[in-house]
Amino acid sequence: MGSVTNLLALLVLALLAGGEASEGPAHTNNWAVLVCTSRYWFNYRHMANTLSLYRTVKRLGIPDDHIILMLADDMACNARNKYPAQVFNNEDHRLNLYGDNVEVDYRGYEVTVENFLRLLTGRHDAAVPRSKRLISDENSNILLYMTGHGGDQFLKFQDAEDIQSNDLADAFAQMYEKKRYRELLVMVDTCQAATLHSQLYSPGVFAVGSSLKGENSYSHHLDADVGVTVVDRFTYYTLQFFENLEIFSNTTLQSLLQTYNPKLLDSHINYRSDLFARPLDQVLLTDFFGSVMEVEHTKSSTQMYAEFVDVNVYEPGEDDIELYKPSVNIPVNEETIADLKPSPEQGIEGLISIAGMFQSDLNNYDLPVVIGVLGLAFAVSLVSSIYPYSPFKI
Residue 55 has pLDDT above 60, yes or no: yes
Task: Look at residue 244 in the predicted model and tell me its pLDDT.
Answer: 87
CA distance 329 to 365: 5
**Each residue's pLDDT tens digit, 295-331:** 555 665 445 545 544 544 445 555 544 444 444 444 5
pLDDT tens for 82-112 read 999 999 999 899 999 998 789 999 999 999 9
CA angle 326/381/341 to nearest 5° reads 50
Would you call 149 a catalytic residue per the annotation? yes
| Known catalytic residue at 36 | no
What digits encode the pLDDT tens for the residues 342-381?
Answer: 555 555 555 455 555 545 444 555 566 556 666 776 666 6
**Side chain identity, residue 289:** F
For the cut 50, the answer to whether the pLDDT of residue 392 exceeds it is no
| Single-letter amino acid code for the residue at 238 | T
Please tell me which residue in 93, 124, 149, 221 is annotated as part of the active site. Answer: 149
pLDDT reading at 43 higher than 90:
yes
> In the CATH scheme, what is the code of domain 26-289?
3.40.50.1460
Among residues 27, 191, 197, 220, which one is catalytic? 191
Q: How far apart are CA 132 and CA 106, in angstroms?
A: 7
pLDDT band at 18 (very low <50, low <70, confident <90, very high): very low
Percent of the chain with pLDDT over 90: 63
| 35, pLDDT greater than 80 | yes
**What is the pTM (predicted TM-score) of this model?**
0.71
What are the extents of the domains in the chain? Answer: 26-289, 301-386
CA distances from 47 to 67, 86, 214 (A): 16, 12, 24
Cα 44 from Cα 51, distance rounded (Å): 11
